[in-house]
Structure 1
Amino acid sequence: MSRLILSAQRQLSNIDDSKIFQGIVIAVILLSALLIGAKTHNLSANAIAVLLLMDVAVTVFFAIELSIRFFACPEKKYFFKSGWNIFDTVIVIGSLVPSGGSGILLARLLRVFRVLRLISIVPELRLLINALLKAIPRMGYIALLMFVIFYIYAAVGSMFFHEINEVLWGDVSISMLTLFRIATFEDWTDVMYETMIVYPLSWIYYLTFIFLTAFIFLNMMVGTVLEVMSQEHEKFRAEQHGESAEGGEPASRAQIDNLEKQLQEIKVLLLENK
């Protein structure tokens, strides 16, 4: 019995790892996205019936695909330790909810989120999302510093410019919204020229603010994301080649070269002793 189970598990694992099967899964996910878009148009009753039938077929396929992945996993308890597996399970189970009654809104939302399963299927997309999630804590400190700069400039702008335009500079909160508009370059020159009529040197205020936010802080954000993405790419490449250091962290190239050098020295010593 155990041999049959192992044999079936091996076959399911081969199916799950098959590029053809992965391609079919991606194609079905894209089909699901097209079905969601098609339902937003005014269609005939026959077309709606066909779409509902295809939606049921897609849901059944996703349930079968998730079952294959689950039973192909050697250790079932480790299957749900992966956040992506939990995400897929929630989406698939939610898709099985009938799209009628009080649960119609939840069912529709979960069917829309089925498109996100493309991220869990494609390793490169998972790599990007993992890098973005890991970069968020570092980006939080940059965002906090940006908030401080926004607040200082908003307070200064409200004190000097509120009499010029109460709508844009009435208080600190409104001034922060105006500064956000300036930081995104949305007709910011109109705001600047309006205040320059009363304060000719107010252009210094705007240019220094834009220099800090649009150039320095934005580049810091981009640099943080790129750094984390580089680390994730190195980790992914190490996992692909089976390279790992103690504690589950990927081994660096220097560590591998050093280990190979030590092995070569041991080999030379063994040959000399013979």
Structure 2
Amino acid sequence: MAIFKPPAPEGNDGQAQAQEPKAQNANADNGPIDESKTSRFKVFVSSNPAMKRFSQVREVCGDIVNHPKIQVLIVALISINALMMGIATFDFVTENKSVDQAFETTDKVFLIIFTVELCMQFVFRGFTLFLDGWLVFDLVIVVLSWSLESLQIIRAFRIFRALRIITRIETMRNLVAALFDIMPRLGAITALLLLIFYIFGVLFTNLFGDLEFEDGAQYFSRLDYSLLTLFVMMTMEWAGVARQCMDQIWWAWAPFVAFIMITGFIVFNLIIAVVCDAVAVIENKEDLEPDLFSAIESEDALADDAGSLTTERRRYEEEMIDQLADKMADAMSNQKQLLSTLESLAKESLVASNRY
């Protein structure tokens, strides 16, 4: 006997139907608001023809200045410009006004090219250009090149424009970045070196300030002279000064040896060790990059294999579920046939019993 299930009250259906559109409307209201927040600028650009053209120009500038061939060309131009600045110091250029003017014009052309390249970078990146330290370095050099163009004496510093090549070669950029990373340790060593210089400068001034040297040289007569002499001594040019002092004071070798041992061997080797450590870090990073890429590729391959295995397993499970569903359907149909057969047999038995 079938069980009768009364229909749900219309009021509940009405409330459920009324709540579902409200939820849908709420989701619909929340969705466009978030999308409009994230794509407001894109909508503004697409709706404004001027901004759309500017966006196209911006993309073209980015494709040009960041193209690998253009970067190689800029490096070549920087190298040629630096080479021509060196050639311009020879007499056959400085003594010939026409040749000197040709070099000046060529230098101005190089500067215009670098300025155009930097302007295209600014069009592409906008004010985010100032977040890139290397591009800011390029900007400072180009601006100084224009501002110092009128000063004849300071124009010699145009050669620093060749430093822009550092920003174009990755190995040199990594080396400079490593040097900046070790600046705290170099700063500590420099502070120690300055302290040693000051102590020995005062000591040498008091000990050897009254001595007379050949050609009237003033090595230790004042503190500033003593500091300069100590700096020269740190480069291992100390034997001549030490022998002149020893000719007048026999024990003068002792402070000289102490200073050379501390600065020329200990402190200087500390600086070399720190720099070598930075170079080793760079080499380790360069060696780890291929391994990292291969590890990422292997992980991607494993993920693809796992994904394919998961897909095959899911397909197998779906096939098993379909087979079980077919068997259940067959069993249900057989059950119905069996029930109908039993009912017919029961009816026939009742009819037969009534006859007898």
- Normalised by the size of structure 1, how large is the TM-score? 0.69
Cα deviation for residue 147 of structure 1 reads 2.3
Cα distance between partner residues in 1 of 2:287 and 2:119:
28
Shift of 1:78: 1.8
In structure 1, which of residues 36, 61, 84 is the aligned counterpart of residue 85 of structure 2? Answer: 36
Of 122, 135, 156, the residue aligned with 1:70 is 122
Q: Which residue of the other structure, out of 117, 136, 142, is the alignment partner of 2:164?
A: 117
Aligned to 1:177: 228
CA distance in 2, matches of 1:148, 1:107: 34
Question: By how many angstroms is 1:231 displaced?
Answer: 4.1
Cα deviation for residue 220 of structure 1 reads 0.9
The aligned runs of 1:155-194 (5 Å cut-off) are 155-165=202-212, 167-186=218-237, 188-194=238-244
Q: Which residue of 2 is the match for residue 86 of structure 1? A: 136
Change (3 A) 1:85 1:195: same
**Offset from partner CA, 1:222-260 (integer Å, 9 cap, x none):** 22223334445656777x77x7xxxxxxxxxxxx99xx7
How far did residue 213 of structure 1 move? 0.4
Between the aligned partners of 2:225 and 2:146, the Cα distance in structure 1 is 46
Runs of 5+ consecutive residues of structure 1 not aligned to the other structure: 244-255
**How high is the sequence identity, in percent, across the aligned residues?**
27
Judge which range, 109-118 or 138-147, deviates more: 109-118
Equivalent runs, 1:98-137 vs 2, <5 Å? 99=149, 103-105=150-152, 108=155, 111-137=158-184
Give the number of equivalent residue pairs: 249
The residue number in structure 1 matching 2:75 is 26
Q: Distance in 2 between matches of 1:94 and 1:178?
A: 35
Distance (whole Å) between structure 1 residues aligned to residue 181 and residue 107 of structure 2: 35
- One-letter amino acid of the structure 2 residue matched with residue 69 of structure 1: Q
Q: Does the CA contact (< 8 Å) of 1:127 and 1:233 recur in 2?
A: no
Q: Distance in 2 between matches of 1:136 and 1:190?
A: 35
The alpha-carbon deviation at position 107 of structure 1 amounts to 8.2
User: What is the match of residue 252 of structure 1?
Assistant: none
Which position in structure 1 is the counterpart of 2:195? 148
- Where in structure 2 are there 5+ consecutive unaligned residues? 1-44, 47-51, 311-316, 318-356
Structure possessing the higher radius of gyration over alpha carbons: 2
AA aligned opposite 1:141: A
| One-letter amino acid of the counterpart of residue 58, structure 1 | F
C-alpha distance 161-21 of structure 1, shift in aligned 2 (>3 A): same
User: Which of 270, 275, 282 is matched with 1:225 structurally?
Assistant: 275
How many angstroms does 1:131 deviate by?
Answer: 2.8
Cα offset, 1:176, TM superposition: 3.0
RMSD of aligned residue pairs (Cα, Å):
4.1
1:97/1:107 contact within 8 Å kept:
no
Residue 135 (structure 1) shift: 3.0
How big is the shift at 1:5? 6.2
- 1:202 counterpart (237, 249, 252): 252
Quote the offset at 1:146 in angstroms: 1.8
Q: Which has the higher contact order (CA 8 A, sep 6+)?
A: 1
Structure 2 residue 55 is matched with structure 1 residue 55: no
Q: Give the distance between the partners of 2:77 and 2:70, measured in 1 at CA.
A: 11
Q: Deviations over 1:67-99 (max 9, x none)?
A: 3333443xx232111122122223334445695
Report the alpha carbon displacement of residue 8 of structure 1 after superposing the two structures with TM: 5.5
CA displacement at 1:26 relative to structure 2: 1.2
How far apart are the structure 2 equivalents of 1:33 and 1:206?
Answer: 42
Q: Which residue type is aligned with residue 118 of structure 1?
A: I
